[in-house]
């Protein structure tokens, strides 16, 4: 079976991106800052709304909503990954093990592909937002979502959408691909 991406103008999408060989590239404030700058730089030329996000040491999850009549999340991700790769600490760069990536002179910073899921309704959207905020707990990095610094959870609390004591004890089934 061949995987087919779904493109919906103005759609909201859940994404998972993973570092090459799950290296913990996002375990320093400098690399987090470089990733934020990559998002910001691409956003200025190709707008999108980040509805929710969590950045973990070796992967990230986020939800984007694209502008009306726009389906091109693929170019945005390519530009974000490229910008980060060009501006990150040079010691992070490695030669990827696969010959096809060597021929293309790609650096071994990111896994080649990413997971995407078109969010189909409000319940699907909410389930994925919860999954994003729950993810640091799932990986045993913190006991409470509020203890993880690199998460939109804090924005949701500030806006009154979630309470500061929102729990990681919720069971999540089949959300995300890591």
**Dist CA 152 CA 95 (whole Å):** 33
**Dist CA 32 CA 37 (whole Å):** 9
**b/e sequence 6-42, b meaning 16+ C-beta within 10 Å:** eeeeebbbbbbbbbbeebebbeeeebeebbeebbeeb
Is 114 a known active-site residue?
Answer: no
Cβ distance 96 to 20 under 8 Å? yes
> Where are any strands of DSSP class E within 10-114?
12-18, 49-55, 59-65
The residues annotated with a catalytic role in the active site are: 150
């Amino acid at each position: 079976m061949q995987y087919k991406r779904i493109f919906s103008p103005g759609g909201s999408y859940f994404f998972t991106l993973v570092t090459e060989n799950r290296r913990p590239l996002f375990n320093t404030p400098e690399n987090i800052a470089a990733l934020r700058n990559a998002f910001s730089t691409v956003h200025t030329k190709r707008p999108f709304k980040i509805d929710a996000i969590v950045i973990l040491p070796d992967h990230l999850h986020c939800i984007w909503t694209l502008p009306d009549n726009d389906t091109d999340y693929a170019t945005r991700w390519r530009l974000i990954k490229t910008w980060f790769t060009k501006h990150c600490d040079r010691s992070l760069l490695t030669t990827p093990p696969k010959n096809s990536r060597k021929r293309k002179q790609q650096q071994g910073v990111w896994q080649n592909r990413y997971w995407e899921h078109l969010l189909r309704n409000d319940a699907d959207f909410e389930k994925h937002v919860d999954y994003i905020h729950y993810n640091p707990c799932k990986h045993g990095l913190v006991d409470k979502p509020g203890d993880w610094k690199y998460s939109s959870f804090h924005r949701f609390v500030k806006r009154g959408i979630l309470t500061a004591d929102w729990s990681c004890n919720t069971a999540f089934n089949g959300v995300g691909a890591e």
